[in-house]
Amino acid sequence: MKRIAVRYGLWMFAGFSALFLAMHLVGLSTNPNLRVLNGIVHITLIYFAIRDFRRYSPAEFNYLSGVAVGMYASMIGVTCFALFQILFLELNPDFLATLQSTLTVGHYLNSFTASSIIFLEGIGISLIASYVVTRVIDMQLALPYTN
């Protein structure tokens, strides 16, 4: 379980970082609505982590272990990305100032609070998505195999 979670957690971090840097390069990184793209990366990688855990450890797979794998992978990906954001915001004070001026919570925003918001949002998505994805995979297993 740990190996699968670490692998997909690192892929998740890479996906979040690549998406953020691509958006930053094209000037869209200050648009908070594009976080939905992070959600797509997040849920997709949770799905693959839980699916692989189910595939390689069918005897150990249940709702709790499925959610645990999704949460474990997400904790790695989200924590690494939040730390990356702290570093990025500290090294780019102009970007932080832009966020502070455009967001409604901008007055309270610093590199730590911005990264904390990212972390908490990511963990919330992780818990819900891990449970839903575990249920989806379980339903797929209940269906007869057709080719």
Question: DSSP label at 39?
Answer: H
Tens digit of each residue's pLDDT (9 = 90 or more) over 90-118 = 999 998 888 888 877 777 888 899 899 88
- Give DSSP secondary structure letters for 85-130: HHHHHHH-HHHHHHHHHHSTTGGG--HHHHHHHHHHHHHHHHHHHH
CB 49 within 8 A of CB 4: yes
Mean predicted lDDT score pLDDT of the chain: 89
Name the band, by pLDDT with cuts 50, 70 and 90, for residue 142: low
- pTM (2 d.p.): 0.86
What is the model's pLDDT at position 115? 92
Tens digit of each residue's pLDDT (9 = 90 or more) over 17-30 = 999 999 999 988 87
pLDDT tops 60 at residue 147: no
Range name among 57-66, 98-107, 131-140 with the lowest pLDDT average: 98-107
